[in-house]
Amino acid sequence: MSWSSLINILFIALHAMVPITLTAVGEIVGETAGLFNIGLEGMLLLSAFMGVIGAEHAGPIVGLLVGAGTGALVGLVFSIISTYWKGNQMITGIGINLFAAGAVAYSFVVLGRPGYRLLDAADRLPAIRTPSGGLSPIIFVAILVPFLVYWFLKRTRAGLILKAAGEAPEAADVAGINVNRMRLLATTFGGLLAGLAGAYMSISWVGSVTKGLSAGRGFISLAIVVFSGLNPILALVGGFIYGIFQSLAIWIKNTPGITFLPWQVFDMLPYIVTLLVVAGVIGRVRFPKALGTPYKRE
Amino acid sequence: MSERELLAQDIKGALKRGLFGLSPIAESLVAAALGLIIGAIIMALSGFDPIVAYAALLKGGFASTYALATSAARATPLLLTGLTFAICVRAGMFNIGAEGQMYMGALAAVTLSYFVLPPGLYQIVGILFAMTAGALWSLIPALLRVFRGVSEVISTIMFNWISHFLAFYLIAKILVDPARSSQTVRVPVAARFPILIPRTDLSYALFAALAFAILIYVLLWHTPTGYEIRAAGLNPRAAKYGGIKSKRTMIMSFLLGGMSAGLAGAAMAMGTPPSYAVFAGLSQIANLGFNGMAVAMVGRNHPIGMIASALLFGGLAAGAREMQISAGVPVEMVGVVQGVIVIALAVPELLRIFRIFRKRWPRLFGRRAEV
């Protein structure tokens, strides 16, 4: 393995890390407040698609904003259903995934090109040029956001209130905290980050959107949240580990001469590693007491 | 209050209770209506005529023997993958893994072509292969949940992706048809489910699915094991206190679910003319596992209710083609409708919200509310 291919693997890993880390950090905020959102996968796909539509009309920055806005909107719908309407979060999330898959496939056909949408080079987010290749600016956002969110959750009063809404909603309610509103804000913010992650994938990283673009990344993010134990900085680490394995799989597939295993095995690798990591850390991780249950006043 | 008024009140109350007794069904109907309405809005926004579209959908899904047979054929695997989800919900878990377990079942059924068996045994052996494959594929997530506490939601989804690539590999390299590289070997003629209605896709696989649904109903509601599974799902702590072994019921429900998904795979591989094989890219079986979850929810996770909801979604799938041909609406519309239905069903107060809405509706138009 030469020096340049090592750099190459690192660059791909950094790019692959971004959607996982951003989505996982958003979900950490939501889970801290007590909402479990399995609809992340659908949010990623929907915002990746909407982001491309936005970028086609008004350039990459607007595309990213449209994507983030789409994610926030879906997060808002999810949180209204699972707070004020006391809906089942698991079923709402499954519904969001089914809806997103259907809506994106439908829109592809309605807009004329079934299954695929390629962005013009001018509508893609420009990469930062380095001697060894381009780096997406969003990578630095994805590295910065976990630290900001860590600071917010551990060091601010608002972060503590959020935690109270997830740990002991009754006590928080008695203390005058509007539990449902806190949860709504947390999940909407989580949706915003997932939306940014989705738009990053289509506008900055891949440069196109397909029905399969999200490829289970929403679910992998959920697994990374488990790995992190709701610590955003560990979500950054988990996202990077995932990125390394994704990158290795791509590198091995593109390297002639490695035939001792079929390429499909390497495609499985990120999922197998995610599963092993989750199985390995579980037990030492503690989640908010009220996670996944709507808050009802007695 | 006079006796007569009291009596009238009693009758009114009884009627109301009767309606409330039906509320799971009413909720499903309201959710289905909501899905169709939002679907209509989206269609109208994208320039289609929703009335023409739904008329075509209805025609293609239910209006003729051919349409009904096609709907029932589409409903067959959905009922089974739906049962996978429903059994585990009854046991208190969310098993999202029907998709991968079904792939494994379908591929296991295809391997029949490498065996020489007495003619009468092919179908039974094929079903057993598929069910075993599905059950084994669901066993690892079940064990991870029981012994390591890994959320079954995450593990089954990871397993779906692993099985996705495993299936790609098996189709391309191991089970490939030497004559056509884009599909697996074909299920031998003797192993195929006979066609029930000529010139349609409806095969005897339907009866296998119905029999399995009824079996699950009897097992869950009329045997001690089923009672234990449901008790563990309703209140795990009370069940444990009552001496129910939760590990056993968890593994049991996962295995039953895996068998059901495996059978769905067999129904597709052994009962879908004209190919009787699995295509590269999994085109004809992809998403059946996910769509089954919608069937389970609309059928309120009850095998008998799910027979009805499977027919509904089978009809949507079958009618979608007619909708595309005569109204120009892409078949993918059905996925949108399905998603909205599931989201609507997550809201326990859907009916209450609906009632408030109905009460306010006349006022909005200047008429007095009757209620």
Structure tokens at B360: 């306010």
A150 part of a folded domain: yes
Question: Three-class SS of residue B135?
Answer: helix
Residue B155: which of A86, A90, A275 has the nearest Cβ? A275
The minimum CA-CA distance between A85 and chain B, rounded to whole Å, is 6
- Predicted confidence (pLDDT) per residue in B225-262, tens digit: 999 999 888 888 888 888 888 889 999 999 999 999 99
Tell me phi and psi for residue B156, to 5 degrees: -70, -35
| Contact indicator for B350, A99 with CB cutoff of 8 Å | no
pLDDT tens per residue across span B15-52: 554 444 457 788 888 889 999 999 999 999 988 999 99
Give a yes or no: residue A189 inside a domain. yes
Taking the complete model, does pTM exceed 0.90, yes or no? no
Distances (CA, A) of B358 to A86, A109, B363: 21, 36, 9
Are B353 and A85 an interchain contact pair (Cβ–Cβ within 8 Å)? Answer: yes
The answer to whether B332 contacts A92, with C-beta atoms less than 8 Å apart, is no
pLDDT at A251: 85
Q: How many domains are there within chain B? A: 1
Count CA atoms within 13 Å of residue B64 on its CB side.
11
- Distance CA(B242)–CA(B45), nearest Å, equals 55
What one-letter code names the amino acid at B282? L
Rg (CA), chain A: 19
pLDDT value at residue B190: 86
Residues of B in contact with A220 (CB under 8 A): 158
A196, two tokens: 């940014």
Structural domain contains residue B14: no
In a domain, A97, yes or no: yes
- Please choose, from the candidates B308, B263, B286, the residue with its C-alpha nearest in 3D space to the C-alpha of residue B130: B263
Within a domain: A289? no
8 A C-beta contact, residue B61 and residue B322: yes
pLDDT less than 70: residues of chain B? 1-22, 349, 351-371
CB B177 within 8 A of CB B184: yes
**Domain of B172, in residue numbers:** 79-302
Segment holding A210, helix H or strand E = strand A208-210
- Residue A22 structural domain: 3-281
Q: Is residue B59 part of a domain?
A: no
Q: What is the pLDDT along chain A (298 residues), one digit of tens a residue?
A: 678 888 888 999 999 999 999 999 999 999 999 999 999 999 999 999 999 999 999 889 999 999 999 999 999 999 999 988 888 888 899 999 999 999 999 998 888 777 778 888 888 888 888 887 888 999 999 999 999 999 999 999 999 999 999 888 888 889 888 999 999 999 999 999 999 999 999 999 988 888 889 888 999 999 899 888 899 999 999 999 999 988 988 888 777 776 667 778 888 888 898 888 888 876 666 788 888 888 887 6
Q: Positive or negative, the Cα torsion across B23, B26, B31, B34?
A: negative
Q: What is the DSSP letter of B320?
A: H
Chosen from A38, A263, A271, A281 to mutate, greatest number of chain B CBs within 10 A: A271
- The predicted structure's pLDDT at residue B233: 85
What's the structural domain count of chain A?
Answer: 1
Distances (CA, A) of B341 to A155, A176, B243: 41, 36, 38
Q: Which of B148, B161, B332 sits opposite A216 (nearest CB)?
A: B161
A200 lies in some domain: yes
- Match 């086609």 to its residue by tokens: A56
Residues of chain B with C-beta less than 8 angstroms from the C-beta of A265: 165, 169
Rounded to whole angstroms, how far apart are CA atoms A22 and A27? 9
- What are the two backbone dihedrals, phi and then psi, of residue A223, each rounded to the nearest 5 degrees? -65, -40
In A19-132, DSSP assigns E strands to 116-118, 128-130
Helical H runs in B170-287?
A: 205-222, 224-234, 236-241, 246-271
Give which of A35, A46, A77, A106 to mutate to test B binding, by max B Cβ within 10 Å: A106
- Residue that the structure tokens 């992998």 belong to: A220
> What phi and psi, each to the nearest 5 degrees, are found at residue B188?
-60, 150
Is residue A292 one of the residues assigned to a domain? Answer: no
Q: Is residue A288 part of a domain?
A: no
pLDDT for the residue numbered A280 = 81
Chain A positions in Cβ-Cβ contact with residue B287 (cut-off 8 Å): 101
Peptide bond into B224 cis (omega under 30): no
Instruction: State whether residue A95 sits within 8 Å of chain B by CB.
Output: yes
Q: Is A287 among the domain residues? A: no
CATH code: domain of residue A244: 1.10.3470
Residue B128 lies in a domain: yes
The end-to-end CA distance of chain A, in Å, is 63
- Residue B19 domain flag: no
